[in-house]
Amino acid sequence: MKGSSRRKRFSLLCAFVFVASLFVGASISAAETMKVVFIGPLTGASAFQGVSAKNAMEAAFEKGRSGLPFSVELAFLDDQGNPETAKKLAEEVGADAAVRAVIGHFNSACALAALDAYHAAKLPAVIWGAVHPDITGKGYPEISRLPAQIGQYSKRLADLLMDQGYASFAVLGENTSYGELYRKTFVESVTARSGQIVLDTSLEKGAKIFTEVVEAVAGANPQAVFFAGFPPEGALLKMQLDRKGVKALFAVGSGISDPMIIRLAKGASEGIVGIQEKPLDSLPGGKAFMDAYAAKGFAEPPQSYSFFAYDAMNLILSILKGNSAVPSREALATAIRGASFEGVAGNFSFDANGQSNMDTTAVFVIEGAQWVPWEASSFGKGSVPLPGK
């Protein structure tokens, strides 16, 4: 292993670093040791996703590490949801020859900022949360992604809303690559079915006052408002729309479809429709995942993307167990890309660009201060009317 100087440089780059050395079997030389590094938001607005994904990766390792023929060290690094930090961390782990794989990134901007560094270092990275299509669009052999792309989320949500009779939409998104592309794909999904876009605009990420946007929405008088961003801005926007008297349905992208928006928006969150992953208890391996996660006693519950980090770690473990010595980065990247693996949601594999064939997207609605699958909700059953129509 490369010693304390490497870890010191890690600590300068991230606000939170946790390193756990987990050794298997008898004493093994440094040449027979490798690292798998988690990178994601462990602090900041998206930390609820990052911490739970880190936990899931750790739970997978604890459950599956028995039988490894060499020593594996895990490291957990905080990109803070900041693309510049993500890029620096990717360059740092790429320069550490002991690092053979990364399980990385919830925020699309962070993943996009890190891609070239992984490619230059020939370092395989399995993406556990970021959904921008350009992440796999470059066709880098090192980059493989488990979640669906943004367009799949947009289409499923738009289709359900239009099936419910919504025909006019105000489309809003934060001014990031994630927000802009979510807006674009949602607009495409609506217009493909002859829906009307009465407003299409961005708002400032991190802003707290949305007077101009709220006025524009009120003037456009849509049946539904779609917002692509994250819970802090989403909660504030929804409450300000309510105060203005906007009666439109409020729908959100996958970055907001989390319990945090319920805590922040409180009563204003009732009836928000969102797109996220299918309920864990509906997935073939959901119970086994929840049991493994619970066995670790984490304070934080699993979130919608946690099982992707769990699957990524288990996939890497299955490949490592088939090697008698630490594989090269190139060999591990090739093995990941060619894998057919039984994960939490069932069997998955990757296409030539590294996109998995999984689509676990599902529509939910906030009812009684919790996210409820659409089909199981009073709104979905038609016993409670939706706003805006």
Model pLDDT, residue 134: 95
Please give the residue that has the higher pLDDT: either 268 or 2: 268
Do 14 and 51 fall into the same domain?
yes
pLDDT of 87 > 50? The answer is yes
Do 19 and 130 fall into the same domain?
yes
Model pLDDT, residue 256: 85
Do 44 and 139 fall into the same domain?
yes
pLDDT in tens, 5-39: 444 444 444 434 444 433 333 233 444 789 999 99
Is 386 a domain residue?
A: no
pLDDT in tens, 372-386: 999 999 999 999 998
Is 387 a domain residue?
A: no
pLDDT in tens, 120-140: 999 999 999 999 999 999 999
Is 374 a domain residue?
A: yes
Average pLDDT for 55-76: 96
pLDDT in tens, 187-210: 999 999 999 999 999 999 899 999
Average pLDDT for 216-236: 96
The number of distinct structural domains making up the chain is 2
Do 155 and 126 fall into the same domain?
no
Model pLDDT, residue 260: 86
Do 248 and 141 fall into the same domain?
no
Q: What percent of the chain has pLDDT over 90?
A: 86
Do 171 and 140 fall into the same domain?
no
Do 212 and 130 fall into the same domain?
no
Is 208 a domain residue?
A: yes
Average pLDDT for 353-366: 96
pLDDT of 353 > 80? The answer is yes
Do 100 and 181 fall into the same domain?
no
Do 11 and 139 fall into the same domain?
yes
Residue 286: domain span: 4-147+281-358
Do 73 and 213 fall into the same domain?
no
Is 389 a domain residue?
A: no
Do 227 and 369 fall into the same domain?
yes
Model pLDDT, residue 258: 76
Q: How sure is the predictor about 343, in pLDDT bands with cuts at 50, 70 and 90?
A: very high
Is 276 a domain residue?
A: no
Is 161 a domain residue?
A: yes
Is 74 a domain residue?
A: yes
Model pLDDT, residue 45: 84
pLDDT in tens, 150-163: 999 999 999 999 99
The pTM of this model reads 0.85
Model pLDDT, residue 373: 96
Do 372 and 252 fall into the same domain?
yes
Start-to-end CA distance of the chain, whole Å, equals 62
pLDDT of 355 > 80? The answer is yes
CATH code (residue 210): 3.40.50.2300
Mean pLDDT of the residues in the chain: 91
Q: What percent of the chain has pLDDT over 70?
A: 92
Q: How sure is the predictor about 63, in pLDDT bands with cuts at 50, 70 and 90?
A: very high
